[in-house]
């Protein structure tokens, strides 16, 4: 059984994420205490809502520094939806507000010529995932592996480096395929040797 710590950002629907990991047989904790997050093995950064609000919430509690340090040490972290975007340098949604800067990319809005937000199912690799987003990362940054999807052009569906995995989609809402994504993140993080720590 894996112990999963979900960060309570105050702007995410954490109930569905909590339930998804419980269905996998995990022990799950929800917290916004930086000390508990710093001591956690598996950390999940979920998010629904506005980039600037999310960053203000993380900084107000000191969780921003804890998250960055966790990733620098190549300890397992999963970012979901806005959680992926918060790991980036910044977002067009909130000009002037710095992100966590772990992913060297800017988040931009989908073109005005297509329907936004993107609500519903979209193909990712060999499956279909549930998305709900108006903003996205346009390409896979250097130093990261990932998968692309398409909505008015290609965009990043997921990114992976070491034990960090970030997805624009909601695996907790993506049925059996999404449950497989969560299980793979846990299993891969257990098997991987620390190799990508950032100085």
pLDDT of residue 151: 97
Confidence of residue 197 (pLDDT cuts 50, 70, 90): very low
pLDDT of residue 110: 97
pLDDT of residue 88: 98
Per-residue pLDDT tens digits for 80-107 = 999 999 999 999 999 999 999 999 999 9
Torsion of CA 8, 63, 67, 174, to 10 degrees: 20
Residues 6+ apart with CB under 8 A from 38: 66, 69, 70
For the chain, give the percent of residues with pLDDT over 70: 95
Residues 6+ apart with CB under 8 A from 144: 103, 159, 160, 161
pLDDT of residue 121: 98
- Which whole number is the average pLDDT over 120-144? 97
Write out the catalytic residue numbers.
Answer: 81, 170, 172
pLDDT of residue 149: 98
Phi/psi of residue 136, each to 5°?
Answer: -160, 165
Confidence of residue 127 (pLDDT cuts 50, 70, 90): very high
Q: What are the sequence ranges of the domains in the chain? A: 3-191
Q: Does position 27 have pLDDT exceeding 70, yes or no?
A: yes
- Which whole number is the average pLDDT over 147-151? 98
pLDDT of residue 12: 75
Fold of the 3-191 domain: Rossmann fold (3.40.50)
pLDDT of residue 1: 64
Bin 172: left if φ > 0, else alpha if -120 < ψ < 50, else beta: alpha
End-to-end CA distance of the chain: 31
């Amino acid at each position: 059984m894996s112990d999963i710590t979900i960060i309570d950002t105050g702007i995410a629907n954490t109930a569905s994420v909590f339930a998804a990991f419980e269905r996998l047989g995990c022990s799950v904790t929800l917290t916004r205490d930086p000390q508990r997050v710093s001591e956690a093995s598996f950390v999940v950064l979920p998010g629904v809502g506005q980039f600037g609000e999310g960053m203000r919430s993380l900084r107000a509690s000191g969780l921003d520094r804890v998250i960055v340090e966790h990733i620098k040490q190549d300890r397992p972290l999963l970012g979901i939806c806005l959680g992926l975007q918060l790991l980036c340098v910044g977002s067009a949604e909130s000009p002037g507000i710095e992100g966590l800067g772990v992913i060297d990319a800017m988040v931009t809005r989908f073109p005005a010529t297509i329907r936004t937000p993107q609500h519903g199912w979209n193909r990712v690799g060999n499956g279909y995932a549930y998305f709900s987003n108006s903003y996205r990362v346009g390409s896979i940054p250097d130093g990261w592996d990932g998968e692309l999807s398409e909505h008015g052009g290609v965009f990043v569906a997921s990114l992976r480096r070491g034990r960090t995995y970030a997805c624009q989609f909601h695996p907790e809402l993506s049925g059996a395929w999404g449950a497989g994504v969560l299980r793979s993140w846990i299993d891969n993080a257990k098997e991987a040797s620390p190799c990508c720590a950032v100085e």
